[in-house]
Structure 1
Amino acid sequence: MAKRNSLPGLYWDKETGKGSIDKRIDGLGRVRHRFTASTWQEAEVEYHQAIAVAKTEAAAPKLRTFREAATKYLNEETKTSLSRDAGCLANLEPWLGGLRLDQIHQGSIQPYIDHRREQGAKSATVIRELSVVRRILTLTSRVWRDLDNQPWLPVAPLLRMPDWKDAANPYPLSFDEQKRFFRELPAHLSEMALFAVHTGTREHIVAELRWEWEIKVPELNTSIFLVPGEFTKNQTTCLLVLNSVAKNVVDSRRGKSDTHVFGFRGKPVTRMHNTAWKNAWKRAGLPIGDSVLSGPHNLRHTFARRLRLAGVPLETRKALMHHIDGDITVHYSPAEVGELLAAVEKLTKVEGVTMLRLAS
């Protein structure tokens, strides 16, 4: 026999023990709940618990999905590598996009990590992807607020980055290898590579290098480039000092583009590590495979190695490599620029030194 008590919306059948709650509450809406109880007392407990849970859930902030957070990030971020972040998020979307922000943690991300490893992705690649997730979660917990000034996510979880011991080893070029390789490159890539190996500049900065960043230094009868922090890895202004070889490369490019120093067929070059680069590397007889680096970043390793061979002090090498820490300044006087210039000019005189490599 079904019976109702004095609590509106509570229904319980003594014979079957089945009950239900169907109640409208002002400011909350409709509360519906089914349960089984053996006594009226148990039915009343179910009633009060169901309403309390509904009120708690209604009062709790509505957490957004990772997809919403990723969209906000891509719409508001201004970093130059945003397109790469967008690619990372595209890979993550099927796995994380529909999850609430509080559902993003090591356990929910681990299946994606395992999937990427099965695909043959390098751990460094997965770390780069997860770094975007970590950045977004940090923003949701520490920066982004709703209209009630509540964070999108109360606390960002810690994420463990994979390390599968699969990093490729650098391959600094000898002068003979450099000559063979650069001869195989198309002219526009060859001049970009020659500039990079004499300045230690990262690939994306070589591609983005702009005339408006050039600053004349009359005291030294030369010029330098100051790359804005928005284009650098550590978001600080990067000083590029040109030795005589790099300066000749820059001078040869004058008048060929109004905006960017380097280009191809009247347009800026978006990247150096393309098919032409890879084919030239093979034709030059240089090592290939997953265990060795074969991209433009090798030129940065070559630059660093040659600075050391030339006897350039560690502090000067750190400044030229733009390795910023507490004891390295990002502001330089003409005299200090002159010291850096003298250091990179040594690279034009170290040819012939044997490049020794340890077997890995």
Structure 2
Amino acid sequence: MHLKQLDPFIGALPIEGVHMGSLQLFITARRGQGVKSKTINLALGVVRHILNLASTEWLDENSLTWIESASKIKLLPQTDARAPYPLSWDEQTRLFSELPAHLWRMALFKVNTGTREQEVCQLRWDWEVPVPELGTSVFIIPGGRVKNGDDRLVVLNRVARSVIDEVRGRHPDYVFTFEGLPITRMNNSAWRKARIRAGLPGVRVHDLKHTFGRRLRAAGVSFEDRQDLLGHRSGRITTHYSAVELKNLIDAGNKVHGQKSRKSPALFLLKRNAG
């Protein structure tokens, strides 16, 4: 995708001619289309990676690297990044009521586990690990499927557990499917139409993760437990837990549905200031 977008701007250049100067037209054009710096940086990162390979690993017929050295590709400062938008309970109800059933289940799971979009889309039954001492299970997503490269522990609170129980047995491999096929993305036309109907045109799929994090904080869940529940890198071996520790995380995840969390003034103030 990124190479296709870059091609009209640098596709005709020799690789030695690819540098920040020759990329300026691409950057200007993408900004003119309203594309955020974070997205532009993804394309610049692809260019950087290719240039690094061309200067270190890719060899010609004479066993020489394609270029002597790689031009330095600087990423753009992300000053235009959109602020997170944690949903209120009323907003969640409005949005979720507009979603088709398969997206509703995925969104409900996501907002109760803090998983990322692709972690939900790719979730597999063979990643489920029973915890017989607690009469439940967790999911361990392999590091290669996770943003930070670490194995990702997914703890199921009551609501997430009910979603898993509902879809169990529908597909031999994937947890979430539509008409027998895995769902490749949640941010699709059905999601975008639903958020407009709900009066929330700017809400992103990733805001469900932010919502879970804010609710955990409002419920008084410790920073360390929030890190574990959200799958953030903490420097610990995140898949090595005792049953007692797992129960603590499950209990923490269930706190988001407590009455105190629902009425949290902290969330109200954050949402009011976000406007």
Given that 1:194 and 1:246 are in contact with CA atoms closer than 8 Å, whether structure 2 keeps it comes out as: yes
> Which structure's relative contact order is higher, taking Cα pairs within 8 Å and 6+ residues apart?
2
* Bigger mean CA deviation after superposition, 151-160 or 342-351: 151-160
Match of 2:208 among 299, 316, 328: 299
Distance 2:10 2:32 in 1: 18
Given that 2:2 and 2:43 are in contact with CA atoms closer than 8 Å, whether structure 1 keeps it comes out as: yes
- CA deviation after TM superposition for structure 1 residue 203, in Å: 0.8
Measured at CA, do residues 339 and 91 of structure 1 come closer, stay the same or move farther in structure 2, by a change above 3 Å?
A: same
Query: What whole-Å deviation, never above 9, does each CA across 1:64-94 have from its counterpart, x for those lacking one?
Result: xxxxxxxxxxxxxxxxxxxxxxx11111112
Residue pairs, 1:71-220, within 5 angstroms: 87-146=1-60, 148-163=62-77, 165-220=79-134
Tell me the residue number matched to 2:135: 221
- CA deviation after TM superposition for structure 1 residue 105, in Å: 1.1
Distance 1:150 1:343 in 2: 57
Structure 1 regions of 5+ residues with no counterpart?
1-86
Residue pairs, 1:189-338, within 5 angstroms: 189-286=103-200, 288=201, 293-325=202-234, 327-334=235-242, 335-338=244-247
Structure 2 regions of 5+ residues with no counterpart?
none
Tell me the residue number matched to 1:47: none
Asked if residue 348 in structure 1 is aligned to residue 253 in structure 2, the reply is: no
Report % sequence identity: 45
- CA deviation after TM superposition for structure 1 residue 225, in Å: 0.9
Distance 1:153 1:336 in 2: 52
Scaled by the length of structure 2, the TM-score of the pair is 0.90
Measured at CA, do residues 275 and 200 of structure 1 come closer, stay the same or move farther in structure 2, by a change above 3 Å?
A: same
Number of aligned residue pairs: 268
The structure with more radius of gyration:
1
SS in 1 for 2:104: helix
SS in 1 for 2:245: helix
Superposed CA RMSD: 1.9
Given that 2:36 and 2:81 are in contact with CA atoms closer than 8 Å, whether structure 1 keeps it comes out as: yes
Measured at CA, do residues 139 and 318 of structure 1 come closer, stay the same or move farther in structure 2, by a change above 3 Å?
A: farther
SS in 2 for 1:312: coil
Distance 2:38 2:61 in 1: 38
Given that 1:211 and 1:260 are in contact with CA atoms closer than 8 Å, whether structure 2 keeps it comes out as: yes
Distance 1:248 1:285 in 2: 28
Whose helix proportion is higher, 1 or 2? 2
- CA deviation after TM superposition for structure 1 residue 148, in Å: 5.0
